[in-house]
């Protein structure tokens, strides 16, 4: 009898996943191949399907099945966990009234259009009233969801469950303390040469190199593909159909490779989620921070290491005849690891990147608890950029208007970027300890053992283990800034 209920729950959740994955196909197409005139109807199609998915999930029949299953002692541990997580998801979803969802989606759409305009006119004032409205609604959302201690926790937990403001404050303060003097010291040193990273790198050759590197990291092209888009991203319709996109600039060799490795890292995680849990929490990524840890690990710990480039140096030289002739892998390694404080987050290096995140996090917290007015964002932003990075912000387009996130109402999202990098360093430390000879494997292009390790420790669990449990199991402790700091000092100290 109970078994019937679990079957019913599973079938129901899979139906919802089918609708959501159909939305994902439409959204992927929107960013890759859709002709511009298709935009209006596409928006309508996505919104219709979103409504269907929402109604399916909030159906009282499903709620009843979940409530019954909660008291069912015959379920296995992973079945129990799936049921509990779905029940929690449902409870959270029910807190949003239809009126609130409509109000916020209208506010987001208006804020987004205002942001596009404000950025092109370089005028924060155009964005200000719409952002103000959105911040008010986000405060309301935090109240609806409920929280302990700080309203920001409610929003942060939408992306990083169980992570709190007080944990994050400690992490970020430690990171600041370590990185500020370290970056100053690096800035006093002579910068390596990097002129060879600019010039002409034919698109076709870059594309092919990207594919080769993805194959080398064991991204399965029978269960995924790569296409082009303006902003690289990863999406999945199932673990057996994972889509990556990349962006190529012919004049700048810094763009393509690390976007491929980054998205490839996200893609490997998606391909590693268990198909047996399709549609259930056990088949979903555990958090954005853990997702980002996978992309960062492949992009930075592997893809910006000397061993990796020693191994791939001949390939790069062959792909671009004459470009890197008198250079060594060491020259290349130095050029791709330059540290330089800058204004734009997405162009920042591995170290200064975190200040871009911390600044946004600090501002978001102040907005949420009401101690900062939206009108004062530019002044606070510019001051923090000067205090932390020593750079002067010339205008709002290069300052507080650069990112899309706030116009999308994504408050609480930014910290997951840094949390992901910190997890990446921590996991990689233990991967090196447990996989004998990992460095030389990386040099030989034998990346399978690392992937298998990540599969076993992280990917296969979906949401059945929390981020904290994953960290405890791998490292015997929760997230700790020390591993990133050690990694950074060893790498950049040289
Ligand atoms: Zn990412």
CB 69 within 8 A of CB 75: yes
Burial of residue 13 (CB within 10 Å: 0-12, 13-18, 19+) is buried
The predicted-structure confidence for 4-29, as pLDDT tens digits, reads as follows 899 999 999 999 999 999 999 999 99
Span from the CA of 295 to the centroid of ligand 1 (angstroms) = 6
Q: How far is the CA of 259 from the centre of ligand 1 (A)?
A: 9
Going by DSSP bridges, is the β-strand pair 224-228/234-238 parallel, antiparallel, or unpaired?
unpaired
CA distance readout (Å), 59 to 3, 22, 83, 102? 20, 20, 16, 19
User: Which residues have CB under 8 Å from 170's CB, separation 6+?
Assistant: none
pLDDT per residue over 263-313, tens digit each? Answer: 999 999 999 999 999 999 999 999 999 999 999 999 999 999 999 999 999
Query: Which residue in 15, 46, 16, 14 sits closest to 29, CA to CA?
Result: 46
Distance 293 CA to ligand 1 centre (A): 8
pLDDT at position 1 is: 47
Greatest CA span in the chain, whole angstroms?
Answer: 73
| pLDDT-above-70 percentage for the chain | 99
252 beta partners: 198
Q: Distance, CA 264 to ligand 1 centroid (Å)?
A: 10
Distance, CA 212 to ligand 1 centroid (Å)? 20
What is the distance between the alpha carbons of residues 251 and 452, in angstroms, rounded to a whole number?
Answer: 36
Q: Please identify which residue in the block is written with the tokens 């057996």.
A: 240
480 C-alpha vs ligand 1 centroid, how far in Å? 20
Q: Which pTM does this prediction carry?
A: 0.95
Q: Does domain 150-494 have CATH number 3.40.640.10?
A: no
- The pair phi, psi for residue 387, each rounded to 5°, is -65, -45
Active site residues: 263
CA distance linking residue 315 with residue 12, whole number of Å: 49
- pLDDT at position 2: 56
Query: Cα–Cα distance between 233 and 217 in angstroms, integer?
Result: 18
Residue 141 CA to ligand 1 centre (angstroms): 25
Let me know: does 182 contact 351? Beta carbons within 8 Å.
yes
- How far is ligand 1, taken at its centre, from the CA of residue 417, in Å? 7
Ligand 1 centre distance from Cα of residue 6 (Å): 34
Give me 318's structure tokens. 């062959």
Sorted by where each begins, the domain ranges of the chain are: 2-149, 150-494
Chain-centre distance for alpha carbon 77: 29
With a cut of 70, list the residues of the chain below it in pLDDT. Answer: 1-3
Given this structure, which CATH class describes domain 2-149?
mainly alpha
Q: What is the pLDDT of residue 39?
A: 85
Q: How far is the centre of ligand 1, averaged over its atoms, from the C-alpha of 291 (Å)?
A: 7
Is residue 391 within 8 Å of 379, Cβ to Cβ?
no
- d(CA 189, ligand 1 centre) in Å: 30
């Amino acid at each position: 009898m109970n078994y019937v209920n679990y079957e019913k729950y599973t079938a129901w959740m899979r139906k919802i996943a089918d609708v959501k994955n159909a939305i994902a196909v439409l959204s992927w197409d929107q960013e890759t191949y859709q002709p511009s005139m298709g935009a209006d109807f596409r928006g309508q199609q996505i919104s219709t399907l979103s409504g269907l998915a929402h109604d399916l999930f909030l159906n009282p029949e499903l709620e009843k099945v979940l409530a019954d299953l909660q008291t069912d002692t015959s379920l296995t541990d992973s079945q129990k966990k799936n049921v509990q997580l779905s029940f929690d998801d449902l409870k959270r979803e029910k807190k949003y009234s239809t009126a609130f969802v409509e109000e916020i989606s209208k506010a987001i759409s208006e804020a987004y259009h205002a942001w596009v305009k404000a950025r092109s006119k370089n005028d924060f004032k155009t964005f200000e009233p719409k952002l103000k409205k959105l911040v008010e609604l986000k405060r309301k959302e935090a109240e609806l969801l409920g929280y302990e201690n700080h309203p920001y926790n409610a929003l942060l937990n939408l992306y990083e469950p169980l992570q709190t403001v007080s944990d994050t404050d400690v992490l970020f303060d430690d990171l600041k303390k370590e990185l500020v003097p370290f970056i100053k010291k690096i800035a006093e040193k002579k910068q390596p040469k990097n002129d060879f990273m600019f010039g002409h790198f034919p698109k076709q050759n870059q594309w092919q190199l990207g594919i080769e590197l993805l194959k080398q990291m064991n991204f399965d092209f029978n269960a995924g593909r790569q296409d082009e888009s303006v902003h690289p991203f990863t999406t999945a319709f199932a673990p057996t159909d994972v889509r990556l996109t990349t962006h190529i600039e012919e004049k700048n060799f810094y763009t393509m490779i690390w976007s491929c490795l980054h998205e490839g890292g996200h893609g490997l995680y998606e391909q590693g989620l268990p198909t047996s849990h399709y549609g259930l929490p056990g088949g979903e990524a555990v958090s954005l921070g853990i997702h980002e840890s996978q992309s960062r690990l492949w992009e930075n710990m592997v893809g910006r290491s000397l061993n990796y480039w020693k191994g791939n140096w001949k390939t790069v030289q062959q792909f671009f005849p004459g470009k890197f002739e008198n250079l060594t892998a060491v020259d290349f390694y130095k050029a791709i690891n330059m540290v330089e404080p800058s204004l734009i987050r997405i162009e920042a290096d591995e170290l200064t990147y975190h200040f871009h995140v911390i600044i946004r996090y600090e501002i978001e917290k102040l907005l949420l608890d009401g101690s900062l007015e939206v009108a004062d964002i530019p002044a606070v932003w510019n001051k923090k950029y000067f205090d932390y990075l020593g750079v002067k912000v010339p205008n709002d387009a290069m300052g507080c208007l650069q990112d899309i996130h706030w116009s999308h109402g994504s408050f609480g999202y930014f910290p997951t970027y840094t949390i992901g990098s910190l997890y990446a360093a921590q996991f990689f430390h233990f991967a090196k300890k447990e996989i004998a000879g990992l460095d030389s494997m990386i040099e030989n292009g034998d990346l399978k053992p690392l992937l298998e390790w990540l599969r076993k420790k992280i990917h296969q669990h979906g949401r059945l283990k929390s981020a904290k449990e994953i960290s405890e199991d791998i490292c015997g402790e929760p997230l700790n800034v020390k591993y990133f700091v050690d990694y950074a000092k060893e790498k950049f100290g040289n």
